[in-house]
Amino acid sequence: MVTNQSDTFDIGGESVHRLGFGAMRLCGENIILGPEDEDAALEVAREAVDIGVDFIDTADSYGPGTSERLLREAGVVDDAFVATKGGLLRNHDGDWLPMGDPDYLRNAALASIDRLGVDSIDLYQLHRPDPDTAFEESVSALAELKDDGLVDNVGLSNVSVEQLETARDLVEISTVQNHYNLINREHEDVLDACESAGIGFIPYFPIRAGDLDEKAAAIDDVAEAHEASRYQVALAWLLGRSDVTLPIPGTSSIEHLRENVAASQLRLSDDELVRLSEYA
């Protein structure tokens, strides 16, 4: 069995557990406005911290602004390492629109600081490169925020290996957040680059529940052997894939939250990791 898997990862000198919580689902339907039951959403956030989660990911575009506000109101910001993102707008139709203008990013960071109720942001991530703004200008804006003490660590999201290397010439990059899971390996090269550089890799959509049906046989065999669910196996595979992965499964359900966090205790054997990797 795998015995040397690290349970923690250091971001800017601060150690966090490698299975975090994605706070996107604290918002309403389609990640717009607030949830139907805000008290229930607050309880989910509190429960995450109570059961040991100390890394929470959010963004100013979730709501917009709702997820950050709820984390502050839940009282969990001081008890967890909070990563937020800027550089993605929402319009009235709910579309996601890149906005990497340096002035906008600075104002967005200040707004996030206010909503979270902090003096500085633990980890501030460029949510998506903006085709209408030079990538270097966007990253330089985040570097200036760090120099000014408004941001402790800088991260990227939805980037290529080339963009990662470009950004690293401008500022220390602590994490990269890209779409990646047991089924979707499009950004395998970015994960490999992060692993080589010791940069945290935050796979979003870490479970992608519906897609697991297509690969049910191998996943179900492993799940049965460990008396676990498919979704726990998918998370355990991510944790076993590399010591730099930081999965952030999101949910609005305390039951699902507990199930997700329990996956951090599931250790897959080398053979199981290989089998799932080859099969999917």
Residues with active-site annotation: 62
Instruction: Determine the Cα–Cα distance for residues 73 and 52; give it in Å rounded to an integer.
Output: 19
- Extract the tokens encoding 261: 């966090």
Instruction: Determine the Cα–Cα distance for residues 262 and 142; give it in Å rounded to an integer.
Output: 35
| Omega within 30 of 0 (cis) for the link into 64 | yes
User: Three-state SS string across 41-78, please?
Assistant: HHHHHHHHHHCCCCEEECCCCCECCHHHHHHHHHCCHH
Pair 181, 195: CB distance under 8 Å: no
> What is the CB neighbour count within 10 angstroms for residue 220?
14
Helix H or strand E segment including 160: none
> What is the CB neighbour count within 10 angstroms for residue 133?
18
Question: Could you identify the residue written with the tokens 């980890």?
Answer: 123
Helix H or strand E segment including 115: helix 102-116
Pair 116, 81: CB distance under 8 Å: no
Instruction: Determine the Cα–Cα distance for residues 155 and 271; give it in Å rounded to an integer.
Output: 33
List of residues 6+ apart from 236 with CB closer than 8 A: 226, 228, 263, 266, 267, 268
